[in-house]
Each structure stands twice: as structure tokens, then as C-alpha cells.
Amino acid sequence: MRTALAVLRKDLLLELRTFETVPAMALFSIAIFVIFHFGVNRPTVDGQLAAGVLTVTLLFAGILGVNRLFVAEREQGGFDAFLLAPVDRSALLLAKASALFLFLVVLEVIAVPAFGILLLGPPLSPTLPAMILVLALADLGIAVIGTLVSALAVQTRSRDVIGPLIGLPLLIPALIATARAIGPLLRPQGPAPLPGKWLLILALYDLVFALVAYAVFDFLLED
């Protein structure tokens, strides 16, 4: 735990210094919204379509973050440094996943309002509580899968390709669930109650992969 905090702290510091990941993610998603707004000369979207656009955007932005997650560790020997320390290895998983989770939250704090302003037809505010719940679950899934995939990809000769390549398919179920869960919230005629089924699937998905990740992560670090 102390370790995870130390690593997380380091990662956030690094992000503050290099300013590489989060701004890129945020700009990317805003760019997408702008494209849809002006490009798809449909001033507003709602319902399932809106949910889809939002989810897909966040997912892609997330992938961009995933790709950078372990680059510094690899290029600058952070892995070795961490492995030399007398600490529990799964702390790295915890730290990286939390870092990614935080990045995603920051991203959404920027992107979701932007979405509300740029693209969304129905008002955002009434749906916010439910929305936050869904997105939190989604972020959790992306964070866990993303960390795992990123750790897998970063040691291969094709980091930047393999990450998204394995990550996107793996995340499809989570994406389906998220989009379907958000859809009803953005109905033009005002939000419907959260579809519990999809929340359940999302939660299940998070749980399963969290457990898998915890079980296998150490093997990604071993010599």
C-alpha cells in the first residue's frame, strides 16, 4: 500500500512534468466531439447514439493513455529499479491501475462537460449521478485491462500496436455494457432509470478481470 502510493505519486509527478498523457487524451476527445458537431452537421445527438459517441471517445482516449503507461518504466529502467526494491510486486499493478483510473477521471471531468456543451441534446445535469456511477465502473474496467495489456505490450517489439490490438477486443464487452447503460440516461424525453442488467455485467466484468490481473501480474515482472 505504502509502495503503491509511492509509485502512484511518482507517476503523477512524472505526468505533471512531462504533461504527456492526460492533455493528449483530453484534446483527442474534444477533437472528436468537435468533429461530430461540425463534421456530422447534426448539432446535437441523444439517446443511444449519444451514449455510443461518448463511450467510444472515452475508450479511444483511454487507449492513448494505456500506450504510455509503462513507456517510462521500460525506456528508463523503472522496472528494474522497482524490482530491486523490497516491496510487493502487485503494488505496481495497483499503482498503475490507479494512475490510469485517475487519468481517465480527469479526462472525463474535462470531456463529459465538453460533450454536454458541444454535442448533447438533452441536459446533462439530471443524469449526472447515474452517469458518474456507470463511468466509474467503466473506468475501473479500462484501468485494469489497460494496465495488464500495457504491461504485456511494453515488453514486445511492437508496443504501440499490440497495446490497442489486444486491448480493444478485450474491452468490447465493457464498452457494450457502458454504452447500453448510458443510453437510457440520455433519452431526449429525459433520463430513464439505470438498466441494472448492464450495470451488473459491467461490475462482473470488472471483478473478473481485476481478479485475473491480480493473479497474473507478477508473472509479467519476473526475470
Binding another protein (rule: CB under 8 A), the pick from 102, 133, 176, 192 is 176
Q: Does 197 engage in binding with another protein (CB under 8 A)?
A: yes
Q: Which is nearer to a copy of itself, 67 or 98 (CB)?
A: 67
Q: How far, in Å, CA of 37 to CA of 123, rounded?
A: 16
CA–CA gap between residue 9 and residue 15 (Å, rounded): 10
Report the amino acid identity of residue 48. Answer: Q
- 86, 158, 189, 193: residue in contact with ligand ATP (rule CB under 6 A): 158
Report if residue 109 touches another protein, rule: CB under 8 A: no
Cell numbers that stand for 92 in this block: 505496481
Which part of the chain contacts another protein (CB under 8 A), choosing from 57-65, 74-82, 98-106, 130-138? 74-82
**71 is an interface residue for a copy of itself by CB under 8 A:** yes
Tell me the per-residue interface mask from 181 to 210 with a copy of itself, x by CB under 8 A, - otherwise.
--x---------------------------
Instruction: Report d(CA 209, CA 223) in Å as an integer.
Output: 24
Count Cα atoms within 13 angstroms, Cβ side, for 95: 22
Q: Which of 69, 84, 96 is nearest to 5 (CA)?
A: 96
Tell me the C-alpha to C-alpha distance, in Å, between residue 57 and each of 27, 31, 79, 125, 206: 11, 10, 31, 20, 20
* Binding region for ligand ATP (CB under 6 A): 157-158
List residues near a copy of itself by CB under 8 A: 17-21, 23-24, 27-28, 30-32, 34-36, 38-42, 48-49, 51-53, 55-57, 59-60, 63-64, 67-68, 71, 75, 156-158, 160-162, 164-165, 168-169, 171-172, 175-176, 178-180, 183
